[in-house]
Amino acid sequence: MNWGQAKNLLIVAFVILDLILVSLYLDIRRYAPGHSAAGQAEPELVAHLAENNITLAAELPWEVPSLPLLRVGIEKQNPYPIALSFFGTLTEVNVIRPEDPLLELVFTRDQEELLFYTSGVNVYTHRGLDRSPSDQTAVQAEKQAQNFLATHGGSEGLTLIRTVPYRRQGTYLVEFGQSYKGFPLVGASGAVLVVTPEGVENYWRRFLNVLGESGEPRAVITAAEALSALALQRPRPEAIPLTVREVVLGYLNRVYNADEWEAAPVWRIWTGGDSYFYINAFTGELETS
């Protein structure tokens, strides 16, 4: 055998060895605790959840990253330009400065109302829209919601999360969220719209700014551990059956009496509609909804 043939055989042998090692590594990572492939929950976990009246109908993320706390703050808004985008003119609009310290301004006209809260939350309600069932599709509702956002404060930094049927046929709850490095800002952030065939009936939005990271990154618990924590800590499990439809790792933001705060990583567990549970990804504690 000449040197050229021996060299080629060695190259082929090393390539095969590399493929075997990669395969073994992936198998170990796939089935190691905390790294189950998406949708492959351990039977023990499924049984444990069932014992606590919880059905798992979601894929579980296997990533277990190390994350820091996140510094987040309210994005200050001038209410008047936003109000103009809703009403077109303020000539016949009532502008009220309420005594409630949590409310900054209230704009009303006929059956429309726009509230600006000191927490950075804006709420718009349009009463009197036709409530008759309709054949509006989810895609049509999403388009309505996106157009509404584009003309009422803008949609920059928001991504569509989900669209679900809401109360009446043809009406949908359309949810948008913000994120940081691929991790969503969950809780009181983003935008939620109730879209009827006649238009947007309700609009909730909070403008947030990510100011930076705080402290050193720390390892988070697994999605499976978060579900186990939910099973053990949620109140009255025997009375309220749950179906887990989605498990997502993100940063929890509440409505605080502050302009800035530190947001902790949490596992957000969605059980349908507007029902969520939040498990602290550092401590495993069930956060108050």
The class that CATH gives domain 78-119+121-206 is: alpha beta
pLDDT of residue 220: 97
pLDDT of residue 3: 40
- The arithmetic mean of pLDDT across residues 79-99, rounded, is 94
Report the amino acid identity of residue 102: L
Residue of higher predicted confidence among 275 and 33: 275
Average pLDDT of every residue of the chain: 84
Whether the pLDDT of residue 10 is over 80: the answer is no
pLDDT of residue 92: 92
**How many percent of the chain have pLDDT more than 90?**
63
- The arithmetic mean of pLDDT across residues 168-185, rounded, is 93
Whether the pLDDT of residue 128 is over 70: the answer is yes
Q: What tens digit of pLDDT does each residue of 206-247 get?
A: 989 999 999 999 999 999 999 999 999 987 766 789 999 999
pLDDT of residue 40: 61
Separation between Cα atoms, residue 165 and residue 133, nearest integer Å: 12
pLDDT of residue 209: 92
Confidence of residue 289 (pLDDT cuts 50, 70, 90): low
Confidence of residue 17 (pLDDT cuts 50, 70, 90): very low
pLDDT of residue 237: 67
Domain regions of the chain by residue span: 1-31, 36-70+216-287, 78-119+121-206
* Phi-psi domain of 237 (left: phi exceeds 0; alpha: psi -120 through 50; beta: other): alpha
Tell me which fold the domain 36-70+216-287 belongs to.
Lipocalin (2.40.128)
Q: Which range, of 28-37, 142-151, 166-175, 278-287, averages the lowest pLDDT?
A: 28-37
Whether the pLDDT of residue 255 is over 70: the answer is yes
Q: What tens digit of pLDDT does each residue of 188-198 get?
A: 899 999 999 99
Whether the pLDDT of residue 66 is over 90: the answer is yes
- The arithmetic mean of pLDDT across residues 77-92, rounded, is 93
pLDDT of residue 144: 96
